A and B are shown apart, each in its own frame.
Chain A
Amino acid sequence: EIVLTQSPGTLSLSPGERATLSCRASQSVRSSNLAWYQQKPGQAPRLLINGASTRATGIPDRFSGSGSGTDFTLTITRLESEDFAVYYCQQYDGSPMWTFGQGTKVEIK
């Protein structure tokens, strides 16, 4: 089983700042198999990025994904008030099995 470790656990930033979230895999993950989600309190997760770097439909371009192998990054260039939430990475390993990271909370500083 591939384990995804997200860091930091909590990121305290101000609106307008840049957020950089990390997702590290215990084994190499195909870029096509890596996704990112945003979850706000009381809501279902929302797909932000699939294929490590492709924004899902309707996702603003301030969200970007990058990385390969075991290290992946979600970047939010200029935080807006609605971006404060919990973010999860997720991978598919073909066994087939899907796993999630434990999440990074982006909170207002």
Chain B
Amino acid sequence: QLQLQESGPGLVKPSETLSLTCTVSGGSISISSYYWGWVRQPPGKGLEWIGSRYYTGSTYYNPSLKSRVTISVDTSKNQLSLKLSSVTATDTAVYYCTRLPGYEFDYWGQGILVTVSS
């Protein structure tokens, strides 16, 4: 059974960089024809796609976040990572790691709440 587990600091200061890791177990992050990505959800609000990385290495970002986001993979550790720079309070959200077999998100991590505050 595939499992995704997010980890990282729960509190980040304004203007700093948010860094999260997603550890994938029960399957390979290098499997062909899959995307892996991140989705976030501000408290009490809806879902926002952050970005997705295809198994080939091609990476795609939400245009609204593109200048601040980097998604990468460490295949040796079977991990996906997210870096979001210059954070503000509006980046406070639950961040989810996800798998995409194509057009939809079929597996989700439990999510991690990241609060941006001094």
B-contacting residues of A (Cβ < 8 Å)?
1, 32-35, 37, 43-47, 50-51, 56, 88, 90-92, 96-103
Shortest Cβ distance from residue A27 to the other chain B in the assembled complex, whole angstroms: 16
**B79-106 vs A: 1/0 string, CB under 8 Å?**
0000000000000000010001011111
Residue among B100, B104, B105 facing the most chain A CB atoms (10 A cut-off): B104
Residues in A with CB closer than 8 Å to B48 are: 100
A-contacting residues of B (Cβ < 8 Å)?
37, 46-49, 52, 60, 62-63, 96, 100, 102-106, 108-111
A35-B104, A47-B105 known; A98+B49 contact, CB < 8 A: yes
Shortest Cβ distance from residue A59 to the other chain B in the assembled complex, whole angstroms: 12
Tell whether, in the assembled complex, residue A47 and residue B106 are in contact, meaning their CB atoms are under 8 Å apart.
yes
Tell whether, in the assembled complex, residue A100 and residue B52 are in contact, meaning their CB atoms are under 8 Å apart.
no
Shortest Cβ distance from residue A23 to the other chain B in the assembled complex, whole angstroms: 13
Residues in A with CB closer than 8 Å to B110 are: 43-44
Tell whether, in the assembled complex, residue A99 and residue B96 are in contact, meaning their CB atoms are under 8 Å apart.
no
Shortest Cβ distance from residue A58 to the other chain B in the assembled complex, whole angstroms: 11
Q: Which residue of A lies closest to B60 (CB)?
A: A96
A-B CB contact pairs (8 Å), 30 listed: A1-B63, A33-B103, A35-B103, A35-B104, A37-B47, A37-B105, A43-B110, A44-B96, A44-B108, A45-B47, A45-B105, A45-B108, A47-B104, A47-B105, A47-B106, A50-B104, A56-B106, A90-B47, A90-B105, A91-B103, A96-B60, A97-B60, A97-B63, A98-B49, A98-B100, A98-B103, A98-B105, A100-B46, A100-B48, A103-B46
